[in-house]
Structure 1
């Protein structure tokens, strides 16, 4: 065979191989894995991809190069932000039924088996505040007249306040404020002496808020409740470093980071308990939630720090007092923010 024939045969073979490669890539079986526009290299870092790789071994990016479908987008959101897959159910059992268990596992280095503390906290917090807003009689009715407004904060009773102060105390204040206003017509947000010490811009805002309270109490109450409910999740997150600081003062031998992990797990558990109480507002269920919310921290502290029962009880009591002080300051800030929202 002459050189021209060999050249033609080589060209034909190359064409067949190229066609097979293109077909393989189009079918999702190429080196890039799957998806439209897949190549043999990672589009993010340029690393050569192994056969049928779904993710880059260097940077972790997926190999599918196409706009996500609606199902893929929802799946991505749920798996990353709501955490309903994989280890969630095992994590929930360890969180709700075994106080201190997840913190001990995390500090022992067994992290991959369970949902990470921050994701667990955000997931349960999101579900709780969503349920609190959507369930009948919840705090989204603040500022309304009639029996619905009078039943605000009755979804979870007073007894559960140890775990729910950050979210339900807002409703209690709004209810009390409404009754006081109906009796006396008082619309003073701050005392004159305290208001005079504020910057001029803040004084003007307080004055506008009081004017709105006098003109339309119902709308002002509703705006106040909506603002407080919107800020409550952020208030809880902002309180975590202070709560961890209190733990550091009481259990000084443990590193601050370990206390922060404990704080996230504890508040996630409280969110889970409150979620149960909101979804199942029955007397027995609410009583069990209240009892467990008060017993849970003591057992968790005992297991994580391996102290004696008397030492744990004494420090837990002191922690509760200091924590309520922080909650009071945070609630005061929420009340002020809610009252000024009408301005």
Structure 2
């Protein structure tokens, strides 16, 4: 008879302990090799980032349709089948700001339709006399504004640059008509050298020097103040650099918005703690409420933004479908405050009267705190 022989035991490649499962009980290293095809690596990356498995099915639908459900499940200890609150909020926060940023960037923010129409009007001129007439009319308006004593100095410099932009547009059309070009006027700034023209304006301000801050921080603040003043000055221009300034500001604002919200979430949890101090709940419980509520808000805004994309693509071709999308978007906007009210009622289990009162007070306090934080974020964005 053949004798039964025990199978050789597997040992951990890291500490050589005998393995009894998929992970070493001594050092915790997985038995699976990291040398995998690219498809497996992408699957692992998705799992690390969002737990891309059945947890999505169990988490996302109730997050949007069942106010307070995920929070109560988390408090009850039933957590393994759901995505963790912070990861849920983190992912939807990034996706939300990403698509809103795309929507704002696609709207050509910072371009004035009137300005574009006035510049492009030269292309419709049929004769050199028409070009000169349009040029005189536009320059007359700019000069009238430039001579106004109430207009600040940076704006006047921007208007001087705008005169150069108008002249260049007129000269392009005159060149096409093979007519003599319009010479530069006295006091007209080169639109491509606006930054140099602001040196006097910016040099009047000393460098930031706060004694209790490190030199590197003071230097960064000084640079930020210079960028802020330059961007503000360029915003008053009507030339091509205005669009670049707006683009820099938008990039700067959206660069700090996620960090701003990460700071505001524990602040919101602290507000909840203060208003429910007699409920004897731990701060961590309020933090879970804050994470789930913000995850819902980010997810709702993400869906509304995506519906906006769909309406822009379908509406011009199928007006009825665009109208339906508009109604659905409006209902989703209404659902956000209703959801938060129901969630607060279910989680903290107080009467409707007290819940509505605290909902209004908490919302008011958090609104002003959020406005303050967003103002700081905008200032940082302008100094980008």
TM-score (norm 2): 0.62
1:316 aligns with 359
Equivalent of 2:248 in 209, 223, 227: 223
TM-fit CA distance, 1:196: 8.2
CA contact (8 A) 1:273 1:293 kept: yes
1:63 aligns with 31
- Unaligned stretches of 5+ residues in structure 1: 1-16, 22-29, 32-39, 151-182
1:289 aligns with 332
Equivalent of 2:111 in 140, 145, 150: 145
2:17 aligns with 47
Following the alignment from structure 2 to structure 1, what is the Cα–Cα distance between the partners of residues 85 and 249? 31
Following the alignment from structure 1 to structure 2, what is the Cα–Cα distance between the partners of residues 316 and 133? 30
1:175 aligns with none
2:76 aligns with 108
2:285 aligns with 258
Total equivalences in the alignment: 265
- The aligned runs of 1:1-343 (5 Å cut-off) are 40-50=10-20, 53-134=21-102, 137-139=103-105, 143-145=109-111, 199=209, 201=219, 202=221, 205-215=224-234, 216-252=241-277, 253=279, 254-281=281-308, 282-341=325-384
Runs of at least 4 residues off by over 6 Å: none
- Unaligned stretches of 5+ residues in structure 2: 117-149, 156-201, 210-217, 235-240, 309-324
CA contact (8 A) 1:142 1:222 kept: no
Following the alignment from structure 2 to structure 1, what is the Cα–Cα distance between the partners of residues 224 and 58? 49
Shifted more, 239-248 versus 212-221: the winner is: 212-221
* Structure whose alpha-carbon radius of gyration is higher: 2
CA contact (8 A) 2:231 2:382 kept: no
TM-fit CA distance, 1:41: 1.5
CA contact (8 A) 2:269 2:290 kept: yes
Per-residue Cα deviation, 1:79-136 (whole angstroms, up to 9, x for no partner): 11123212111111221111111111111111112111011111222322233244xx
- The DSSP-based 3-state class of the residue aligned with 1:317 is helix
TM-fit CA distance, 1:59: 4.5
Distance 1:243 1:338, change over 3 A: same
TM-fit CA distance, 1:209: 3.2
RMSD of the alignment, in Å?
Answer: 3.1
Distance 1:274 1:212, change over 3 A: closer
Distance 1:248 1:139, change over 3 A: farther
Following the alignment from structure 2 to structure 1, what is the Cα–Cα distance between the partners of residues 84 and 71? 10
Following the alignment from structure 1 to structure 2, what is the Cα–Cα distance between the partners of residues 328 and 93? 30
- The DSSP-based 3-state class of the residue aligned with 1:280 is helix
Per-residue Cα deviation, 1:6-42 (whole angstroms, up to 9, x for no partner): xxxxxxxxxxx9xxx8xxxxxxxx85xxxxxxxx222
Distance 1:279 1:208, change over 3 A: closer
